Amino acid sequence: SDKMSDKQSAQKSAKIASGAVVCVESEIRGDVTIGARTVVHPKARIIAEAGPIVIGEGNLIEEQALIINSYPENITPDSEGVEAKTMTIGINNVFEVGCMSQALKIGDNNVIESKADLGRNMILTSGCIIGACCQVNTCEVIPENTVIFGSGCQRRVQTERPQPQTLQLDFLMKILPNYHHLKKTVKN
Amino acid sequence: MASLLQPDRVLYLVHGEKKIRSPLSTLYFCRYCSELRSLECVSHEVDSHYCPSCLENMPSAEAKLKKNRKRICNQLNENFRCANCFDCPCCMHTLSTRATNIPAPLPDDPSKTAMKKAYYLACGFCRWTSRDVGMADKSVASGGWQEPDNPHTQRINKLIEYYQQLAQREKLERDRKKLARRRPYMPLAFSEKYGLGTRLQRQRPGAPITSLAGLSLKEGEDQKEINIEPAQALDEVEPLPEDCYTRPINLPEVTSLRQRLLQPDFQPAGASQLHPKHKHLLIKRSLRCRKCEHNLSKPEFNPTSIKFKIQLVAVSYIPEVRIMSIPNLRFQKECQVLLTLTNPVENITHVTLVGCEEGDPEDINSTAKVMVPTKELVLAGKDAAAEYDELAEPQDFQDDPDVVAFRKSNKIGFFIKVVPQREEDGDVTVSFKIRHDFRNLAAPIRPSEEGDAPAEAIWLTHHVELSLGPIIA
């Protein structure tokens, strides 16, 4: 039916802006929009299962990072009344190696360090740093400039927001195309 | 790897002041006394101090005190803190120095600005920076950071001096009394030299620890009379602020107890007063046998080296028993357990296993009967080159296949029979004695007329306990 074909056509498209560097070895599934100057490393995974994902500009998504818009645990994919929620990610965020993010709303200038784990009900504002190996699965809005660190997920507020990784992004945008094929936008 | 080897299932008994049972890997062997030693029956001494992050060696306390005491860097060393490295006051991680470029006017021409480097301290773990507490960026990479002064420093220093003097005076009195009794011809000054520098006085258990000891009077220095004002008790205390109960708490600003107590001189309640402290030094420790005063473990002086100058660990001298496989243990049924015995020395070792007799005072934990091989087990020497030497003939030991399961260079596998005697929950524990010959290479070389006589072998006996796991019904 129409709905099915719409779903299928929506799933096939991954809109990659012209300035973005997305390596072919990365896995992008579903309706994903990637902004300009964003770098997606090989083996990164962006999976839009339960709804589209919109990623802004200047983000850095490193290897084995997993950004997934998945169904909540108690809801099956086919049940009625399930709205497709869009996951939005702002600009200048860094998703370090091996992290997993299911948070539906991430603002700007956040850093999610290696092997961190963000739950679906979290909302990151801006300047937040989720430390390495920290699993945060609460239903809250993290205030600006919060740092979550340590095995007990201690928190503190820093006075400065983390600097945007412009140097790193420029370097990667120059070097990665020398060693990897890039994904381009699928044109219908 | 240690959890894979499960070393704490085989315990050796150490005869010391206390009877201690611990794995062979944690024990030392005094080859002068020919006995096992554990960490509790040796004396621990501080060898040297070093900073764990910059790995710089700090001279020992005695060497420092001979220099001029009044220098500030010495004062830092007396506190046993590194002069270069800082700890994050928030998470206690090591701080690293970061640089930024800031435009600054040139000294020659104020209208032009050049990029100058400014340094600040930052923590990679919790993202604390020195700018959070208002510390200005410094223009030098190291040496520019100062800890804030404590307003009470002067008073505390004066109190310390006064009590140091008191301690010296009391010590003089004590020594005078002692010398008056024993050696009246010894001059008084000698008692100072026999301070806690000699080993005899150091090892006295229960002796009061005085960090003030070693500060002997310099010859010719007159003893100044130091008077202190007694502390005054005040009736009025500063009242609490009026909004103490109504002001909302700013949680990120409140310091945790740990953060507060790591700075005992300030104990700030607010995070904006948390200043970084210099990093605490770590020590290199040497161990000494209490009976014969020989060193059992002496590390290298260089902080970057993990080797030892003297390393008399038990695993290099005593054959080690390890559990290889345990069948299902059944109550009052005979089970065969496979153990391995490894020979750490280069010469052939003969090992005899003996079960514990009835009423053995060392056998307190066993919950099963054990039948050990009656024949003597022979272990080949440890030969590091054996795996490369293809022409070597395999040594023929004629092992009894009922006793010896396999033989591999300096290791053999042998069977013991275990009959669990108790049906309760808990591990089946067996114990036996292992008797082996030991060639003492540390014995002084006596001039012998017959030429090279081999080192004499002595027989050592150790009590071994094995924990074999629970009974499976």
Q: Has residue A187 got a pLDDT over 80?
A: no
Q: Has residue B222 got a pLDDT over 90?
A: no
B125/A160 CB distance under 8 A: no
First vs last Cα of chain B: how many Å apart? 30
The yes/no answer on whether domain B319-443+456-470 falls in CATH 2.60.40 is yes
In-domain check, residue A188? no
Q: Has residue B391 got a pLDDT over 80?
A: no
B91/A129 CB distance under 8 A: no
B129/A159 CB distance under 8 A: yes
Q: What range defines the domain where residue A121 resides?
A: 14-71+83-179
pTM, to two decimals: 0.74
How far is Cα A182 from Cα A20, in angstroms, rounded to an integer? 9
Confidence label for A164 from pLDDT (cuts 50, 70 and 90): confident
- State the average pLDDT over residues B250-274: 88
Size of interface A-B (CB pairs under 8 A): 32
Count CB-CB contacts under 10 A for residue A147: 27
CB-nearest partner of B91 from A129, A150, A162: A150
Q: What type of residue sits at position A2?
A: D
The residues, any chain, with a CB within 8 Å of residue A58's CB and separated by 6 or more, are A35, A36, A37, A38, A91, A92, A164, A166, A169
Lowest mean pLDDT among B84-93, B106-115, B234-243, B457-466: B106-115
How far is Cα A74 from Cα A50, in angstroms, rounded to an integer? 13
Instruction: Name the 3-class secondary structure at B69.
Output: coil
In-domain check, residue A154? yes
Domain count, chain A: 1
Q: Residue B21's closest CA among B30, B8, B29, B11?
A: B11
Instruction: Outline where DSSP puts E strands in B209-263.
Output: none
Q: Residue B42's closest CA among B283, B200, B203?
A: B203
Lowest mean pLDDT among A147-156, B214-223, B459-468: B214-223
A149/B129 CB distance under 8 A: no
How far is Cα A67 from Cα A49, in angstroms, rounded to an integer? 11
Which long-range CB contacts under 8 A does B149-153 form with residues at least 24 apart? Answer: B150/B265, B150/B266, B152/B265
How much is the pLDDT for B448?
52
* Nearest chain B residue to A113, by CA: B125
Burial of B336 (0-12, 13-18, 19+ CB in 10 A): middle
Q: Residue B35's closest CA among B291, B349, B322, B376?
A: B291
* Nearest chain A residue to B251, by CA: A156
B33-67 pLDDT, tens digit per residue, is: 899 999 999 999 988 889 999 998 887 654 454 44
In-domain check, residue A49? yes
DSSP string covering B86-148? EE-TTT-PBPEEEEEEEEEE-SS-TTSEEEEEEEEEE-TTT--BGGGGTPPPBSSSSS---PP
How much is the pLDDT for B472?
82
Q: What is the largest CA-CA distance in chain A?
A: 54
How far is Cα A10 from Cα B230, in angstroms, rounded to an integer? 84
Q: Domain containing A95 — which CATH number?
A: 2.160.10.10
Report the DSSP pairing between strands B28-30 and B81-87. unpaired
Backbone angles phi and psi of B154, in degrees to 5: -60, -45
In-domain check, residue A116? yes
A160/B271 CB distance under 8 A: no
Q: Has residue B397 got a pLDDT over 90?
A: no
Q: Has residue A115 got a pLDDT over 70?
A: yes
* Nearest chain B residue to A127, by CA: B127
B129/A155 CB distance under 8 A: no
The residues, any chain, with a CB within 8 Å of residue A178's CB and separated by 6 or more, are none
* Nearest chain A residue to B255, by CA: A156
First vs last Cα of chain A: how many Å apart? 20
Q: Which of A159, A160, A161 to mutate to test the interface with B (most CBs of B within 10 A)?
A: A159
Lowest mean pLDDT among A134-148, B199-213, B227-241: B199-213
How far is Cα B343 from Cα A157, in angstroms, rounded to an integer? 58
Q: Residue B294's closest CA among B305, B309, B307?
A: B309
- State the average pLDDT over residues B87-107: 85
CB A53 within 8 A of CB A66: no
How much is the pLDDT for B68?
41
How much is the pLDDT for B185?
52
